[in-house]
Amino acid sequence: MAGNSWGRNAVPLCAGAVLGGALVLEVFVVLLQLRHEEGNGHEHKKGQPFPFFSLVFLLLVLGNALENARRFITASPSTRGVMLAGAGQGWDYCYSCQTHVPPRCAHCFSCNVCVLRRDHHCTILAQCLGYQNYRYFLCLLLHGAAGLLFGCLLNAKVVMLLQQEETTIHTVLLLVVPWLMLLIGQVSVPTFIYAFVTDVFMVSFLFCMGFLLFHGLLALRGQTTKEWFEENHQYDLGWRRNLQDVLGQRWYFVWLSPFISSPLPGDGITFQTKKP
Ligand SMILES: [Zn+2]
Ligand SMILES: [Zn+2]
């Protein structure tokens, strides 16, 4: 993602950053306000302990997600600067890049370059998912899902506290159709905001989990999305080796932190195939 592609990528990147930033800020506000809400009307609960562990957990998950997102964007999986010497079996020719390209490599018309072991173009982060950044993509989804679930539970807790006087049906309706409840005057604006953000977190969490499960399964099977559609199993070398190929030699540790070094065993150009 460089040069003239920036203009095209700026809108989704900025929109994602603003939305993500707003949600993160909201969680911090909720986390600190929760003490106040829990203390209301409960004399013995006043002076709730500072939510130290929740804050540390949130900061760890957010830090992990942000650094994985940064590395996903900067670890370019493109063929720019990669020595592609000669054409062999399985190689193709890219008319846009005017060069021979190795197996599993495909041209991305959004990035305007060929991408090694290309999976798909991520519109939200404006970067292709390929050989170099698969690890960061999976870890970003994992930490993103954990952060979103945490934010969802915190917001839901505030909604429950604010709805103490109301019936269960009222609370359920508020969570299912918050806009309708606001329009017919059945809810105050602050309670509506908490309920709406709970829903946004829940939908985003389900979105992240869906992608995580699908791409986790693909990683286990040694396939890209295109190969999955084509039912191509020729690069499936067993789950352990498949995971090593995309997550690196320390595949069992990488989810802990993006700073853990885990060199990829291959070069993104040559791929071992399953013995017939
Ligand atoms: Zn190309
Ligand atoms: Zn792309």
Task: List the chain pLDDT tens, one digit each, 276 residues.
Answer: 444 555 666 777 777 777 778 777 777 777 777 766 665 555 445 555 667 788 888 889 989 999 999 999 998 888 888 887 767 778 999 999 998 999 999 999 999 999 999 999 998 888 999 999 999 999 999 999 999 999 899 888 888 888 888 888 888 888 888 888 888 888 888 888 888 989 999 999 999 999 999 999 999 999 999 999 999 999 999 999 999 999 999 999 999 999 999 999 998 998 988 877
**pLDDT at residue 262, as a whole number:** 94
**116 Cα: distance to centroid of ligand 2 (angstroms):** 11
**pLDDT at residue 249, as a whole number:** 93
**9 Cα: distance to centroid of ligand 1 (angstroms):** 19
Helix (H) or strand (E) run with residue 229 in it:
helix 225-229
Residue 66 lies in a domain: yes
Which ligand is in closest contact with the Cα of 133?
Answer: 2
Residues with catalytic function: 122
**108 Cα: distance to centroid of ligand 2 (angstroms):** 5
- B/e letters for 113-130, b = 16+ CB within 10 Å, e = fewer, are bbbbbbbebbeebbbbbb
Number of separate domains in the chain: 1
Which ligand is in closest contact with the Cα of 130?
Answer: 2
Residue 267 lies in a domain: no
**pLDDT at residue 3, as a whole number:** 46
Residue 111 lies in a domain: yes
**pLDDT at residue 7, as a whole number:** 60
DSSP state of 128: E
**pLDDT at residue 61, as a whole number:** 92
Nearest alpha carbon to residue 130 among 246, 211, 216, 16:
246
Residue 200 lies in a domain: yes
In angstroms, the CA 38 to CA 154 distance is 12
Q: 101-105 — which CB contacts under 8 Å span 24+ positions?
A: 102/268, 102/269, 102/270, 103/271, 104/224, 104/227, 104/235, 104/271, 105/79, 105/269
Residue 274 lies in a domain: no
pTM: 0.85
**pLDDT at residue 206, as a whole number:** 96
**pLDDT at residue 27, as a whole number:** 78
Q: Which residues surround ligand 1, an ion (CB under 5 A)?
A: 94, 96-97, 107, 114
3-state class (DSSP) for residue 78: strand
Neighbours of 256 (CB within 10 A): 12
Q: Which domain holds residue 174?
A: 5-247
User: Residue 106 phi/psi, 5° resolution?
Assistant: -145, 155
Q: What is the DSSP string of 8-68?
A: HHHHHHHHHHHHHHHHHHHHHHHHHHHHHHHHTT-GGGSSPPP-HHHHHHHHHHHHHHHHH
Residue 261 lies in a domain: no
**5 Cα: distance to centroid of ligand 1 (angstroms):** 15
**pLDDT at residue 39, as a whole number:** 58
The strand pair at 92-94 and 99-101 is best described as antiparallel
Residue 271 lies in a domain: no
**pLDDT at residue 170, as a whole number:** 86
Residue 51 lies in a domain: yes
DSSP state of 269: S
